[in-house]
Amino acid sequence: MVRPRIYMFILFMFAIGCTGCSRESSYRSEQPVESSATMLKVLYATVEAGSEAVINAAENYEQQTGIDVEVSTFPYNSLQEKVFTELSRKSSEYDLIAVDTPWMPKIIQYLEPITPYIQQTASTTGIDDFIAKLFLDTSVYDKDMPQRAPLAMDTVNLDRITAAGFDVWSLPIQSNVLTVSYRKDLFENEANRVAFKKRFHRELNIPSTLDEYEDIAKFFTRDNNQDGLIDMYGTTLMAGKHEANFVDFKSFLHIFGGKLFNENLDPVFNSESGVKALETYGSWILKDKVTSPDVLSYTWDEVEIAFGFGQAAMGMNVHDMKLHPNVYGGQVGYFMLPGVEHGGTLVRGPHFGSWGLAINKYSEHKEEAYQLANYLTSADVQRDYLRFRQHVTRKSAYAAAKTVPEESVREYYEVLGRSLNIGVGRPRIKNYDQISETVQTAVQQYLTGKKNARTALDDAAAKVGKLMKESGY
């Protein structure tokens, strides 16, 4: 049996450990179409969107259908350029395209709405099995006003979506959300527990609030080898001028009750909540010094390295982090990004975003492309993704993750699933990259002492307001 031709346009690819169920998917389309396609081409990301799991599923699909599947993978920046180029020239080269949520407002006119295909597909585990908040953020848009937010709902309901003037434009295949990896071995160490209780008059437990998190970060910032230099920090942050910086600030902003824009898309992140969020973020770096001095250049990559080599007791990232084998006795656990109490209610606001599989409007095999997307995001296939540690998007897949043999993997999926249900997505705007970079600059200006928090955010809000007007908002 011929295997798919899979072209990897990357210099390297990390190996992802396989855990959990090792069976192949038994999925079959309940309404198979008579296909005229002999090959389907998929334009996809690399490890950031779980390419190994998707490639394996594509191989299975070819074996089941006889249709060749060609998966071309590119790292993020190259993929974005490739997607925009292919669509702008109305190319039919690729049938399915992986779309990160910030791209959707720019490219939606080049995509095929998939609402009619879903309506024609009889399935016992349909779109109502997707995590609703994730599905709405990733896939549901008004083509004429992509900035418009869809209705909130606990369970995806296609009739309500269409009645409100929206369509479905992709099927969610991989999700990311800001969570915390931590050194479980340090938290469970009896000497640490006694010392922490003596100093802070409470147990050393998983923190629920940012204040509790900060106390723990202070406690674990220490000189372990007694050479007069700090060699372990309490936490990591992603404070470099990078999208990761925006993700951090955006999460703190929502935790403190703020938001980036109001209903009219006027920037409001320079509110009192925004200033408080930035000053709190900065205090961990500048005042309490619970992060490495190098944190002003950290993105998610550097955070993973620092945590992995035992340089931090806790670390925030959009995926689970692991320890290097040289970190003797190290054990990793996971918990949700803490929050802040507002009127007796704990408010959390972790950043989240997802990849969706969208149909190229210019594809000559749209029906077949939908069948492939439906397969790659189906319940059975997503359960199989667990052995690749894919960030799945269906409720049933998270339920299945409870039976994964490895404790740390079960724990991560539990934290990931809960976090996705409360996550805060990116703004639905065409000039997202410009807005993100402007806020990144403001954060850096404050952290490097060039401006105070209020001035940095006010100046950024003024610039963002101008950029929004220039983009027609």
More confident residue, 2 or 183: 183
Within a domain: residue 133?
Answer: yes
User: Among residues 382, 400, 420, which one ends one of the domains?
Assistant: 420
List, for residues 65-109, the tens digit of each pLDDT value.
999 999 999 999 999 999 999 999 999 999 999 999 999 999 999
Same domain, yes or no: 158 and 218: no
Q: What is the pLDDT of residue 28?
A: 40
State the burial class of residue 287 (Cβ atoms within 10 Å of its Cβ: 0-12, 13-18, 19+): exposed
Contact 331, 184 (CB under 8 A): yes
Q: What is the pLDDT of residue 234?
A: 98
List, for residues 291-310, the tens digit of each pLDDT value.
999 999 999 999 999 999 99
Tell me how far apart the alpha carbons of residues 455 and 47 are, in angstroms, rounded to a whole number.
39
Q: Which token pair is 445?
A: 């200006």
Within a domain: residue 72?
Answer: yes
- Averaged pLDDT for residues 171-198: 97
Within a domain: residue 317?
Answer: yes
State the burial class of residue 458 (Cβ atoms within 10 Å of its Cβ: 0-12, 13-18, 19+): middle
Q: What is the pLDDT of residue 37?
A: 66
- How many other C-beta atoms are found inside a 10 Å radius of the C-beta of residue 289? 17
Tell me how far apart the alpha carbons of residues 451 and 278 are, in angstroms, rounded to a whole number.
12
Q: What is the pLDDT of residue 225?
A: 86
Q: What is the pLDDT of residue 122?
A: 60
List, for residues 322-331, the tens digit of each pLDDT value.
999 999 899 9
Please report, for residues 138, 141, 252, 257, 472, the alpha-carbon distance to residue 461 in angstroms, rounded to integers and kept in the order given. Answer: 26, 26, 17, 17, 17
- Averaged pLDDT for residues 34-50: 86
Within a domain: residue 361?
Answer: yes
For residue 332, the one-letter residue type is V
Q: What is the pLDDT of residue 16?
A: 35
Same domain, yes or no: 119 and 216: no
Report the C-alpha dihedral over residues 241, 338, 329, 223, rounded to 10 degrees. Answer: 60
Same domain, yes or no: 107 and 222: no
Query: 371: domain CATH number?
Result: 3.40.190.10
Same domain, yes or no: 192 and 107: no
Within a domain: residue 134?
Answer: yes
- Averaged pLDDT for residues 210-220: 98
Q: Is the pLDDT of residue 8 over 60?
A: no
Same domain, yes or no: 45 and 123: yes
For 152-162, letters b (16+ CB in 10 Å) and e give: eeeebebeebe
Please report, for residues 134, 293, 332, the alpha-carbon distance to residue 222 in angstroms, rounded to integers and kept in the order given. Answer: 39, 14, 19
Please report, for residues 37, 184, 252, 456, the alpha-carbon distance to residue 452 in angstroms, rounded to integers and kept in the order given. Answer: 60, 37, 17, 6
Which pLDDT band, with edges at 50, 70 and 90, does 34 fall under?
low
Q: What is the pLDDT of residue 75?
A: 95
Same domain, yes or no: 216 and 159: no
Tell me how far apart the alpha carbons of residues 424 and 349 are, in angstroms, rounded to a whole number.
6
Q: SS3 sequence, 310-356? A: CCECEEEECCCCCCCCCCCCCCEEEEECCEEEECCEEECCCEEEEEE
Within a domain: residue 442?
Answer: yes
The sign of the torsion formed by the CA atoms of 110, 47, 177, 290 equals negative
Same domain, yes or no: 126 and 250: no
Q: Is the pLDDT of residue 1 over 50?
A: no
Tell me how far apart the alpha carbons of residues 442 and 461 are, in angstroms, rounded to a whole number.
9
Q: What is the pLDDT of residue 38?
A: 86
Q: Is the pLDDT of residue 143 over 90?
A: yes
The residue range of the domain holding 315 is 179-350+429-470
Tell me how far apart the alpha carbons of residues 111 and 97 are, in angstroms, rounded to a whole number.
9
Within a domain: residue 1?
Answer: no
Element (H, E) at 415: helix 407-420
Q: Which residue has the tokens 């071995």?
A: 185
Same domain, yes or no: 82 and 206: no
Strands 179-183 and 68-73: unpaired
Same domain, yes or no: 300 and 288: yes
Within a domain: residue 443?
Answer: yes
Please report, for residues 101, 147, 153, 278, 353, the alpha-carbon distance to residue 136 in angstroms, rounded to integers and kept in the order given. Answer: 11, 13, 9, 29, 11
Same domain, yes or no: 314 and 452: yes
Which pLDDT band, with edges at 50, 70 and 90, does 224 fall under?
confident
Same domain, yes or no: 315 and 256: yes
DSSP 218-285: HHH-B-TT-SSS--BBS-----SSSHHHHHHHHHHHHHTT--SB-TT--B-TTSHHHHHHHHHHHHHH
Q: Is the pLDDT of residue 5 over 90?
A: no
Query: Which SS3 state, helix, strand or coil, does residue 77 take?
Result: helix
Domain count along the chain: 2
Tell me how far apart the alpha carbons of residues 454 and 448 are, in angstroms, rounded to a whole number.
14
Please report, for residues 96, 167, 168, 169, 366, the alpha-carbon distance to residue 114 in angstroms, rounded to integers and kept in the order given. Answer: 12, 7, 6, 6, 9
Contact 457, 451 (CB under 8 A): no
- Name the average pLDDT for the chain: 91
Tell me how far apart the alpha carbons of residues 133 and 155 are, in angstroms, rounded to a whole number.
9
Which pLDDT band, with edges at 50, 70 and 90, does 18 fall under?
very low
Which residues are 41's β-sheet partners? 70
Same domain, yes or no: 251 and 303: yes
